[in-house]
Amino acid sequence: MNLNLIAFLILFPFVVAVIQKFVKNNKIRGGVTYIGAAAIILTVAAIAATWITKQESIELLVNTEIIDKVIICGEVFLVCLITYLSFKYKKYPVCLLSIVQTAMVIWVDVAGPELEEGAHLLIDRMSLIMMVIVGVIGSLICVYAVGYLAGYHEHHKEVEDRRPYFFMLLFVFLGAMFGLVLSKNLLWMDFFWEITSVCSFLLIGYTRTEEAVNNSFRALWMNLLGGLGFATAIVYTAVTAGTVDLGDLVAMASTGSIALLPIALLAFAALTKSAQMPFSSWLLGAMVAPTPSSALLHSATMVKAGVYLLIRLAPAMTGNQVGLMISTIGGFTFFAASMLAIAQSDGKKVLAYSTISNLGLITACAGIGTSETVWAAVFLIIFHAVSKSMLFQGVGSIENSLHSRDVEDMGGLLRSLPKLAWIMIIGICGMYLAPFGMLISKWAAISAFIDSGNVLMIIFLIFGSATTVFYWSKWLTKLVSLKKVEPVKNVTQKNQMFSLYIHACAMICLCFVFPLLSAQYVLPMIEGMYGAAAPVISDGNLYTMAILLVAIVVFPAVMYLFTRNMTDEYTQSYLAGVNTGDGSKFVDSFGGEKDLVVSNWYMDGIFGEKKLTVPCTIISAVIIVVMLCVIMGGAF
């Protein structure tokens, strides 16, 4: 493996970020974005092609004294930035969290115990999957952002135009994510972990409104709380085992309980990063940021850093208290967030709760820690990243055209904005319908949970899946309803549509390559983690997928042939004979005219945030505190 390619992949986005900060012309900035995105995608493709020819794990960089010093300087810069902004906005406790964890990490690096020499970077199947997600999906979102931000500032004159700052943060984030998923040294991983948290914090506060500032600091302190757990795990492992290598820590878990505490602390950090309950509120608050940041950081990539770490830790969590804590929190979050999504009509909020819910399912799979559940978790990450990125971008484009992102305002979108409607339809179907991989992965998860005998997980998954069908179906039926609508101008630019089309094609193509990707790539990865891995997809399921793939192509084609020459004919709603005649009003029982309104049922009184948020937060917090106390008691 060419080390220069790896170095370029991590460092190049930072270089582009610096350029973006000083480019004031919008057209030049767009050109820099396109060139940067293309270079990142090509580099990821080159690394993937090189790795596939060998198909073996590659460890790089043993002697890194100079780089270690640069990272220490970076840690100091981050803590100074957080401290400055904390004092500026009078959020003093936040800077304390940052100072404490940074001091702990620097102590290990500068004055701590002597550590074993080892490689700092690792390229294997799991890191390659994350590289492709970050490189391809992330770059396409940056391309989408060029057109979106132009429309956003055209319609939001009250928001200061800080596009150089916005694009700088997007590319800094990409570089940090590459560093994070390639690091096997916990000190390096912690540094990149904190950069992603700071990028999220700064992007959430982009508009500088009071709500945005408060939400950004909430995201920051919750992620810093997880970062404190990460730093504590590093100190504990360095002092007790003389290593900060993630692979060594996972291997130690099979030798006794000494490794369970740092693994629990790292898993706790992953829960905060992936917005699992009781930390889900930071992700909901992040929706005030412009849509590209929601798509990139808060759905497709940054929140995946948490579940990525959990999958790395999965073999060490099998059948112990840490795995029980993680799987319980993940399963509970999957179920609770699905219920909360039912009561939402704001498109971005539905997507936010859906993201939290699906991250919960991935978390539960990693916590169970068997080969079958890890297989399901990997595919859930892949399909969720593509589908949710596309849905967030689709909602952003619809909002710019309709000036609303309310689901109820999207009725008849298939007529008014057909291109965007089809994008949304593919994305929504990808989240819960066959033959898309999210549904297949849930089948595998249910099977694995049954095999593990975990009744609670089975209940969470079955009822969580049922509520998932409920809120996605409500949205889907709104999009395809053939009601009469006013013409709407699609203001989505070509660069935005380019990103959306690539996402849609990738979603459909994944259905066809799903079995091949499983057999040739994911199953060998599982075998490397567990020593053996039985096929997860049965022959019967493969035949079912083949039939569904044919149906999804043949049925729409046949329907198109039968209906292409038909003309639209609108009929009045019946309304028991009291229709006023124009189909838009009716006479009520008191003889007065009322507007005819057809809307979904959101059951806010049952599943609303006011009903469920507080009890769900308390339950999940109690589970974490109790389980961490049990784990600490076993360690000491």
Q: Give the DSSP H/E element, type plus range, for residue 16.
A: helix 3-22
Q: What is the pLDDT, as a whole number, of residue 539?
A: 61
- 12-16, 263-267, 516-520: the lowest-pLDDT one: 516-520
The whole-angstrom separation of Cα 620 and Cα 616 is 6
**Those residues with Cβ within 8 angstroms of residue 454's Cβ, 6 or more apart along the chain or in another chain:** 327, 368
Q: What is the pLDDT, as a whole number, of residue 636?
A: 63
- 109-118, 499-508, 541-550: the lowest-pLDDT one: 541-550
Q: What is the pLDDT, as a whole number, of residue 418?
A: 86
Under 8 Å between Cβ of 390 and 426: yes
Q: What would the pLDDT profile of 46-90 be if each residue is shown by its tens digit?
A: 999 888 877 778 888 888 889 999 999 999 999 999 999 999 999
- 32-41, 110-119, 307-316: the lowest-pLDDT one: 110-119
Q: What is the pLDDT, as a whole number, of residue 319?
A: 84
Q: What is the pLDDT, as a whole number, of residue 543?
A: 65
Tokens of 359: 């991250």
What's the distance, Cα to Cα, between the start and end of the chain in Å? 43
With cut-offs at 50, 70 and 90, classify the pLDDT of residue 566: low
Q: What is the pLDDT, as a whole number, of residue 583?
A: 61
Give bridge partners of residue 58 from the DSSP assignment: 123
**Size of the chain in residues:** 636
With cut-offs at 50, 70 and 90, classify the pLDDT of residue 469: confident
Residue 577 has pLDDT above 60, yes or no: no
As a whole number, mean pLDDT of residues 346-364 equals 93
Tokens of 498: 């380019």
Record the pTM: 0.92
Angle between helices 609-635 and 321-342 (to 10 degrees): 170
Q: What is the pLDDT, as a whole number, of residue 104?
A: 95
The more confident residue out of 580 and 453 is 453
Q: What would the pLDDT profile of 215-265 be if each residue is shown by its tens digit?
A: 999 999 999 999 999 999 999 999 988 889 998 899 888 776 678 899 999
Residue 287 has pLDDT above 60, yes or no: yes
With cut-offs at 50, 70 and 90, classify the pLDDT of residue 378: very high
Q: What would the pLDDT profile of 432-455 be if each residue is shown by its tens digit?
A: 776 666 777 777 788 778 777 778
The whole-angstrom separation of Cα 596 and Cα 594 is 6
Residue 569 has pLDDT above 70, yes or no: no
Tokens of 425: 């339809």
Q: What is the pLDDT, as a whole number, of residue 446?
A: 80
Residue 329 has pLDDT above 90, yes or no: yes
As a whole number, mean pLDDT of residues 475-479 equals 87
As a whole number, mean pLDDT of residues 348-352 equals 92
Residue 458 has pLDDT above 90, yes or no: no
- Three-state DSSP at 58 gives strand
With cut-offs at 50, 70 and 90, classify the pLDDT of residue 372: confident
As a whole number, mean pLDDT of residues 550-564 equals 64
Q: What would the pLDDT profile of 138-175 be if each residue is shown by its tens digit?
A: 999 999 999 999 888 888 888 888 999 999 999 999 99
Q: What would the pLDDT profile of 299-310 be if each residue is shown by its tens digit?
A: 778 889 999 999
- Three-state DSSP at 56 gives coil
With cut-offs at 50, 70 and 90, classify the pLDDT of residue 548: low
Q: What is the pLDDT, as a whole number, of residue 533?
A: 63
Helices vs. strands in the chain: H and E counts, helices first: 26, 4
